[in-house]
């Protein structure tokens, strides 16, 4: 069976474009593109047979299907030859039952999808493997790609740099100077990318990289390139697969540029269209109150205005003018969507409170957990709901956030769960007294 996928305009303009063409916006109306699959061809295989195929491939070593993205290759990017694929075994991350934290919130079924347990420590790897593989396919078929480039709040650049290095493609990353974590800055440097640090915010970097893509033949690796979303959408398929093909009731995801939530919806859409599932979950996007343009739109009948994003510990979602705003709003309308926001204190305390139950959360996951706490308190989420929180990055990429939290050094945060080392002389009695008082409390 030949499976086909092409770019189409999200606003419905006629015409389609090959996935191997460097094109990011509709030539007629300027809107974003999306990848459209030949669903009739995919429907020739029954739903149950797709499930069995995906289960057989899941986390095995037969190239390239052991990657949980490429294990669903026919649904993702059938045009890429296996020899062009650049994969570091993405997806297949743990979806664990957060029993203790759920019980604290009066929820029997709270689950955390730990997308940060990935090659570069964030869910961005799910999409980047697809984008860089397509670039390699272009180069193999004689296309000219001088370099791949992205603007980034940190995790995109780490992911792009790693996959480009693995695929031997030059990478350029453009970062807002001083606004990404030390770990996020080290990653693209270590992988040999050209790192340009600009005195602006993410939105300023995004404007420049779009111009480079338009004027200099540099291939754009931001999520406005909808190839990335094809990889990212596997997260919803994978969650359902991990629940033995059952759909959860609520999925909570932190949102910045809003490619992620659009991809989440696209995965559920595709499973619905191909008959694997028959109902939809409710989707909640969580934003930092300092960077909340989607939240403001939600509260204003979906009327969107870009804003200037302010400083937030959730630096990867510090975005005031999200590229995928229209896609995200369409997704939320279909998924009975909710947008919630979290202040700096709320996000930091939610992350720390959940850490006390054994997690180690990045600030973006803190935003999602804070949204969960608020929706539970308002009884929008009820005790019987099966809730999945998507944790987008590894907590170890944000150790400064943790250190400052516990040292009460974060701006606008009053820590409720600070825990500091007890400094003692090397004296047995002093240690014993400290152990006694710890055991008593």
The answer to the question of residue 364 lying near ligand PLP (CB under 6 A) is yes
Should residue 223 be labelled a site residue for ligand PLP when binding is judged by CB under 6 A? yes
Helix (H), strand (E), coil (C) string for the chain: CCCCEEEEECCCCCCCEECCCCCCECCCCCCEEEEEECHHHHHCCCHHHHHHHHHHHCCCCCCCCCCCCHHHHHHHCCCCCHHHCCCCCCCCCCEEECHHHHHHCCCCEEEEEECCCCCCCECHHHHHHHHHHHHHHHHHCCCCCCCEEEECCCHHHHHHHHHHHHHCCCEEEEEECCCCCHHHHHHHHHCCCEEEEECCCHHHHHHHHHHHHHHHCCEECCCCCCHHHHHHCHHHHHHHHHCCCCCCCEEEEECCCCHHHHHHHHHHHHHHHCCCCCCCCEEEEEEEHHHCHHHHHHCCCCCCCCCCCCCCCCHHHCCCCCCCHHHHHHHHHHCCCEEEEECHHHHHHHHHHHHCCCCCECHHHHHHHHHHHHHHHCCCCCCCCEEEEEECEEHHHHHHHHHHHHCCCCCCCCCCCCCCCCCCCCCHHHHHHHHHHHHHC
CB of 149 to ligand PLP, least distance (A): 17
Q: How far is the CB of 190 from ligand PLP (least distance, A)?
A: 18
Contact residue for ligand PLP among 90, 125, 155, 355 (CB under 6 A):
155
The binder of ligand PLP chosen from 147, 393, 410, 413 (CB under 6 A)? 393
42-50, 71-79, 256-264, 352-360 -> range binding ligand PLP (CB under 6 A): 256-264
Using the minimum distance from each CB to ligand PLP, give the nearer residue, 138 or 325: 325
Does residue 317 interact with ligand PLP by CB under 6 A?
yes
Which of residues 64, 231, 259, 366 is near ligand PLP by CB under 6 A?
259
392 near ligand PLP, rule: CB under 6 A:
yes
Contact between 347 and ligand PLP (CB under 6 A)? no
Q: Which of 8, 113, 119, 124 binds ligand PLP (CB under 6 A)?
A: 124
Is residue 129 within 8 Å of 222, Cβ to Cβ? no
Q: Is 231 in the site for ligand PLP (CB under 6 A)?
A: no
Window contacting ligand PLP (CB under 6 A); options: 83-91, 254-262, 399-407, 417-425:
254-262
**Residue 222 touching ligand PLP (CB under 6 A):** no
Whether 364 and 112 have beta carbons less than 8 Å apart is answered as no
C-beta of 213: minimal distance to ligand PLP in Å?
18
Binding-site member from 255, 265, 267, 293 for ligand PLP (CB under 6 A): 255
- Name residues contacting ligand PLP, limited to 158-197 (CB under 6 A): none
The answer to the question of residue 129 lying near ligand PLP (CB under 6 A) is no
Contact with ligand PLP (CB under 6 A): which of 316, 351, 354, 387? 316
Please tell me whether residue 203 binds ligand PLP under the rule CB under 6 A.
Answer: no
Which of 71, 188, 231, 254 lies at the binding interface for ligand PLP (CB under 6 A)? 254
* Cβ nearer to ligand PLP, comparing 136 with 318: 318
230 touches ligand PLP (CB under 6 A): no
| Closer by beta carbon to ligand PLP, 138 or else 370 | 370
**Is residue 122 close enough to count as binding ligand PLP by CB under 6 A?**
yes
Contact 121, 394 (CB under 8 A): yes
Strands of 338-342's sheet, edge to edge? 95-97, 109-114, 386-391, 250-254, 282-288, 338-342
Q: How far is the CB of 228 from ligand PLP (least distance, A)?
A: 9
Compute the least distance from the CB of residue 254 to ligand PLP, in Å: 5
Q: Is 226 in the site for ligand PLP (CB under 6 A)?
A: no
| 281 touches ligand PLP (CB under 6 A) | no
Q: What are phi and psi of 50, to 5 degrees?
A: -60, -45
Our finding on whether 90 is near ligand PLP (CB under 6 A) is no
List of residues contacting ligand PLP (CB under 6 A): 122, 124, 155, 223, 254-260, 316-317, 362, 364, 392-393
């Amino acid at each position: 069976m030949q499976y086909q996928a092409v770019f189409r305009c999200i606003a419905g303009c006629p015409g389609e474009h090959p996935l191997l063409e460097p094109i990011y916006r509709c030539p007629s109306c300027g809107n974003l593109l999306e990848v459209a699959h030949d669903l009739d061809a995919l429907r020739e295989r029954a739903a149950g047979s797709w499930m069995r195929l995906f289960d057989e491939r899941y986390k095995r070593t037969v190239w390239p299907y052991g990657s949980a993205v490429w294990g669903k290759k026919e649904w993702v990017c059938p045009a890429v030859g296996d020899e062009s694929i650049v994969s570091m075994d993405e997806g297949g991350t743990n979806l664990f039952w957060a029993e203790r934290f759920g019980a604290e919130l009066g929820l029997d079924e709270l689950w955390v999808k730990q997308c940060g347990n990935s090659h570069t420590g964030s869910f961005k790897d799910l999409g980047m493997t697809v984008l860089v593989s397509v670039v390699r396919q272009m180069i193999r078929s004689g296309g000219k790609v001088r370099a791949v480039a992205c603007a980034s709040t940190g995790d995109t650049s780490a992911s792009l740099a790693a996959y480009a290095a693995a695929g031997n493609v030059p990478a350029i990353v453009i970062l807002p100077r001083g606004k990404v974590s030390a770990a996020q800055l080290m990653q693209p440097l270590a992988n040999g990318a050209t790192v340009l640090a600009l005195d602006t915010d993410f939105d300023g970097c995004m404007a420049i990289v779009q111009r480079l893509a338009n004027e200099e033949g540099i291939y754009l690796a931001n999520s406005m390139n909808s190839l990335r979303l094809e990889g990212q959408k596997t997260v919803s398929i994978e969650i359902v697969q991990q629940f033995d093909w059952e759909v959860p009731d609520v999925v909570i995801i932190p949102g910045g540029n809003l490619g992620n939530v659009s991809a989440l919806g696209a995965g559920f859409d595709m499973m619905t269209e191909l008959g694997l599932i028959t109902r939809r979950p409710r989707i909640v996007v969580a934003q930092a109150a300092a960077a909340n343009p989607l939240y403001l739109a939600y509260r204003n009948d979906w009327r969107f205005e870009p804003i200037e994003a302010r400083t937030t510990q959730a630096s990867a979602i510090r975005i005031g003018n999200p590229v995928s705003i229209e896609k995200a709003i369409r997704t939320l309308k279909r998924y009975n969507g909710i947008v919630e926001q979290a202040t700096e204190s709320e996000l930091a305390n939610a992350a720390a409170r959940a850490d006390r139950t054994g997690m180690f959360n990045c600030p973006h996951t803190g935003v999602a957990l804070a949204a969960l706490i608020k929706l539970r308190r308002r009884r929008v989420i009820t005790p019987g709901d099966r809730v999945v929180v998507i944790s987008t990055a590894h907590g170890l990429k944000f150790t400064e956030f943790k250190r400052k939290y516990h040292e009460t050094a974060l701006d606008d945060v009053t820590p409720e769960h600070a825990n500091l080392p007890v400094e003692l002389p090397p004296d047995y009695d002093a240690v014993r007294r400290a152990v006694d008082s710890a055991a008593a409390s």
